[in-house]
Amino acid sequence: MGDEKEDSTLSVKAIKEKYHNWEIRHLWATRFLEYVLLFVAWFLIFYLIFSHYSLFNTEATSARYMLSALVQSQAAIVAIVVSLTLIAVQLSASAYSPRVIRIFRNNPDVWLLLGLYGLSIFYGLLILKTIRDGDLKEIILFNYPIEIHIISAYFLGIFSFLMLFRYILSIIDLLKLENIINRLASDITKDALLNSKENPIQPIMDIVHGSIMKYDFETMRVGLKVVTKAVAGAMINDIDLDRKKKNSRHFCDHLQRVGKLAISKMDEESTAEVIENLGYFGESTAGKTPEDATRQIAWTIETVGKAATEKGLEKVTWQVALSFKSFGRSSISEYKTRVRKPKLTSAFLRRKTLRWLYCH
């Protein structure tokens, strides 16, 4: 019974993770679909409430007051939302990196909410302009009685207010560091990795560098883990061998700089984390990248390990040995499945592992 519950829990977590990954890749489509579903659900609830209490009929004076108050309150809410959003952007940019501004710029929740409020406000103003004293049934707007438009304005006003709660939850969720990094990592593709103008790795590396300077190990760990997984996935799906070599060297340079910064700060845990991610990167791409790329990863592990050893960071020495061991075993098994004899890279990694263990 316990095993069944554990399996069901794992399956639910797997489904949530898959949906979250799909949501990050198709953010606009996901948000638009959510708004449509919520719009339909609120329409049904709104219709049932107004039908039950017979609220469809109104008079000109009360309609003017209601619409005027609704438009003014919505305009005030828009001003507050814009101000708070800009404050959140400023705080995130100062805490992490100025490059996270583009996450808020590309966030569909802001634009969908502003569009909804703008539509509701101008629609209410148009109805206010049309309302005259007398029987409202005689006033026609867009081929429909004005009473239908008044009810529609109430519907849009309440719906936009309800969506404000959805927007607040979305912004709070977006301010979480892991979600910011995942949004930035979604831009890492095989073609974008070599883009010198907008390097998709650099924003995450800025966060990692800043976290090391502040001795924020958790932030550094999450950033390295996410970016390593994203780059490895992009390289595995690439079929251009020359581009794989360049991307591997480019990413190793990034991790080497992070490792040297951690060593200069005498941060043993951060340095070990860098080497662990280098080992994971090599293990994930073993047999799926050219031999030169594999050698580059091994050389970077050794370079960072030597620099850490010279500074007396003993924990890093053991992590280098573990990374070489897992990296070499994965490379040997991958190459054996592709050819009858392991390639030179497998022997090269075994020599690296044995030499490191013997020397340190």
* pLDDT value of position 92: 81
* pLDDT value of position 297: 80
Amino acid at 251: F
Domain boundary among 156, 175, 194: 175
* pLDDT value of position 105: 83
* pLDDT value of position 241: 72
Judge if 65 and 153 occupy the same domain: yes
- pLDDT tens profile 90-113: 888 887 777 788 888 888 888 989
Judge if 14 and 141 occupy the same domain: yes
Q: For the chain, what is the mean pLDDT? A: 77
Domain boundary among 140, 175, 210: 175
* pLDDT value of position 2: 54
Judge if 331 and 288 occupy the same domain: yes
* pLDDT value of position 75: 92
Q: What is the mean pLDDT of residues 128-134?
A: 75
Amino acid at 49: I
Amino acid at 59: E
Judge if 55 and 80 occupy the same domain: yes
Give the DSSP letter of residue 144.
Answer: E
Judge if 168 and 216 occupy the same domain: no
Report the predicted TM-score, pTM, of the whole model to 2 decimal places. Answer: 0.73
Q: What is the mean pLDDT of residues 208-230?
A: 87
User: Which two tokens mark 102?
Assistant: 């583009």
Query: Would you say residue 201 lies in a domain?
Result: yes
How far is Cα 346 from Cα 352, in angstroms, rounded to an integer? Answer: 10
3-state secondary structure 253-317: HHHHHHHHHHHHCCCHHHHHHHHHHHHHHHHHHCCCCCHHHHHHHHHHHHHHHHHHHHCCCHHHH
Q: Between the ranges 3-17, 107-121, 193-207, 324-338, where is the mean pLDDT highest?
A: 107-121
Judge if 71 and 161 occupy the same domain: yes
Domain membership of residue 306 as a residue range: 186-359
Domain boundary among 143, 175, 207: 175
* pLDDT value of position 76: 92
Judge if 112 and 235 occupy the same domain: no
Residue with tokens 């069901």, as numbered in its chain: 8
Query: Would you say residue 328 lies in a domain?
Result: yes
* pLDDT value of position 337: 45
Residues in the chain: 360
Q: DSSP labels for 148-193?
A: HHHHHHHHHHHHHHHHHHHHHHHHHHHTSHHHHHHHHHTT--TTGG
How far is Cα 14 from Cα 127, in angstroms, rounded to an integer? Answer: 49
Judge if 57 and 160 occupy the same domain: yes
Q: How confident is the model at residue 231 (pLDDT cuts 50, 70, 90)?
A: confident
* pLDDT value of position 121: 92
Q: What is the mean pLDDT of residues 67-80?
A: 90
Query: Would you say residue 251 lies in a domain?
Result: yes
* pLDDT value of position 344: 43
Judge if 166 and 218 occupy the same domain: no
How far is Cα 318 from Cα 79, in angstroms, rounded to an integer? Answer: 56
Rounded to a whole number of angstroms, the CA Rg of the chain reads 29
Count of domains observed in the chain: 2
Give the DSSP letter of residue 140.
Answer: E
Q: How confident is the model at residue 328 (pLDDT cuts 50, 70, 90)?
A: low
Q: How confident is the model at residue 325 (pLDDT cuts 50, 70, 90)?
A: low
Judge if 259 and 192 occupy the same domain: yes
The answer for residues whose C-beta is within 8 angstroms of residue 315's C-beta and 6 or more apart is: 268, 269, 272
Q: Residue 238 is part of a domain; what is its CATH number?
A: 1.25.40
Query: Would you say residue 341 lies in a domain?
Result: yes
Judge if 214 and 120 occupy the same domain: no
Query: Would you say residue 294 lies in a domain?
Result: yes
- pLDDT tens profile 240-253: 777 777 888 888 88
Give Cα separations from 120 to 59, 67, 124, 272, 285 (angstroms).
20, 10, 6, 55, 52
Query: Would you say residue 180 lies in a domain?
Result: no
Burial of residue 20 (CB within 10 Å: 0-12, 13-18, 19+) is: exposed
Say if residue 353's pLDDT is above 60: no
- pLDDT tens profile 144-191: 777 788 888 888 888 998 889 888 888 888 888 888 888 888 888 777
* pLDDT value of position 338: 46
Judge if 216 and 248 occupy the same domain: yes
